Chains A and B, each alone.
Chain A
Amino acid sequence: MIGIEDCLSEAMSIPGALGAILVDHTSGMAVAEKGMPDPARSAAGLSEAFRATIDGVAVSSPEGSFRVEDLIITTDTSYHLIRPMEMMFDGPLLVCLRLDRERANLALARRRLLTITDQLVAS
């Protein structure tokens, strides 16, 4: 079992990791971060991106309910991984990881992030 800071360090040890941030989705607050240029704005922006995606997928999914496991955004230089974690009383808590597209292995990064988040909320 790991804490919030360990979760960030672990995420940053994923090959190609450039920055990681934990965002409280309800309030859009940056809980903790490493290597993010402007944490407050990043948190608000990533939280909004996640919300917009959920809303968009919700109205375009034939199935009534769905659960987002993660969000992958590919830009010309990087990958952004956003993974929601259901917390006990509030949340979700979003783990957002920015990866160098040249150096990162997307499949590996997804698996590693899953392992890390499982450790964070495991009980």
Chain B
Amino acid sequence: MAASTLDTALPALAADGTTGALRAGKEGTVYLSQGRVSYVECAATLSVEELLAASGRISATGLRTVRQAAGPDEHGGDILVRQGVLSRGELQFCVLGATLDAAYFLLQARPARTRFKEGEEHWLGAHWFFDVPGLLRECARRRSRLERAWPSAELDGRPVTPVSHIGAARAVLTPLQWELMRTADCTATPAELARRLGRPAYSTLLAVRELAAAGLLDTGQTAAPALPKRTPPGGRSQPGRGAGTGKEPASPPQAEGRHASGPLAVNADATDVNLLIRLRDALEAL
């Protein structure tokens, strides 16, 4: 069956309840199991194998051995669980996380040519299932989440460049944001950093946009307008997660200048009021 684009092929295959692999050239593959998506691979994101290797739970050689031992009797994922490399829950979460990450970027790339191979399975087996509308809904939700964090996509493909001085009084970072700030070398893009850190590309992109919203990244504009842009327009969305408390005025109004203007300068200051009261009392006592 030679299907057209991924957008049209996927719902059709899902409706027929098919099992197999839908290949979109070199860009990625969608694995279906009885009409539901069980796994997605995308060239731009880390696969479960790569995530496992990055986590240090199993070596590349160990993974190859499991892959060779895997077959219809026992899928690779089940072998990994049996060997105690990871728990059933971790495997499921790993598969669903990698699937959503890959689906987000693969569907956005809109690959034009696809080829379906009926009956083909991923060697790990099927461990989590998405119905196609649900998967598309989640991708749309993730897209709007990115928009809310920082409404421009121009940073997505550019090297991540931390600013040398932050405008905020304090910055709160998530663990991933910290890793990003530590690893960012002003040449690696978010996708490259995700690969280097062994993290999902979407989470990395979201963290990068939040860092930009918090004024911690060079957004390519002149330094001055970076701070006011921190709260993106539209919706009363919270300031980004790593926002810190940059919105507050730098410090309480300073008192120094007043003393210089002479002892008679009177303000609604407690000391001034006390002085006036004491003066009045003294005059009345005369």
Interface residues of A (CB under 8 A from B): 1-4, 6-7, 24, 26-29, 31, 40, 48, 51-52, 55, 58-59, 87-91, 93, 119-123
A51 cross-chain contacts in B, Cβ below 8 A? 241
- Cα distance, A116 to B198, chains bound together (Å): 27
Q: Given A29-B138, A58-B172, A89-B51, does the pair A3, B88 have CB atoms closer than 8 Å?
A: yes
- Cα distance, A60 to B46, chains bound together (Å): 37
Q: Given A89-B199, A90-B97, A121-B87, does the pair A3, B145 have CB atoms closer than 8 Å?
A: no
The A contact surface, by secondary structure, is mixed
Interface string of B52-64 (1 = CB under 8 A from A): 1011010000000
In the complex, B124 has a CB within 8 A of chain A: no
Chain B, interface size category, equals 35 or more
Closest beta carbon of chain B to A112's beta carbon, Å: 16
Residues facing A in B84-127 (CB within 8 A) are: 84-90, 92-94, 96-97, 100
Which one of A3, A6, A51 has the highest number of Cβ atoms from chain B below 10 Å of its Cβ?
A: A3
- Cα distance, A3 to B93, chains bound together (Å): 9
- Residue in chain B with minimal CB distance to A52: B238
Closest beta carbon of chain B to A20's beta carbon, Å: 14
Residues facing A in B160-198 (CB within 8 A) are: 170, 172, 176, 198
The answer to whether A4 touches B241 (Cβ under 8 A) is no
- Cα distance, A7 to B92, chains bound together (Å): 12
- Residue in chain B with minimal CB distance to A48: B238
- Residue in chain A with minimal CB distance to B142: A27
A27-B203, A90-B199 known; 14 new pairs, CB 8 Å cut-off, are A2-B88, A6-B89, A26-B200, A28-B145, A51-B241, A55-B241, A59-B170, A87-B94, A88-B93, A89-B55, A90-B97, A90-B200, A121-B90, A123-B87
Closest beta carbon of chain B to A48's beta carbon, Å: 8
Interface string of B228-250 (1 = CB under 8 A from A): 00000000001001000100000
The answer to whether A4 touches B245 (Cβ under 8 A) is no
A6 cross-chain contacts in B, Cβ below 8 A? 88-89
- Cα distance, A88 to B54, chains bound together (Å): 9
- Residue in chain B with minimal CB distance to A89: B51
- Cα distance, A123 to B89, chains bound together (Å): 10
Q: Which of B51, B85, B206 contacts A123 (CB 8 A)?
A: B85
Closest beta carbon of chain B to A83's beta carbon, Å: 13
In the complex, B141 has a CB within 8 A of chain A: yes
Closest beta carbon of chain B to A92's beta carbon, Å: 9
B199 cross-chain contacts in A, Cβ below 8 A? 89-90
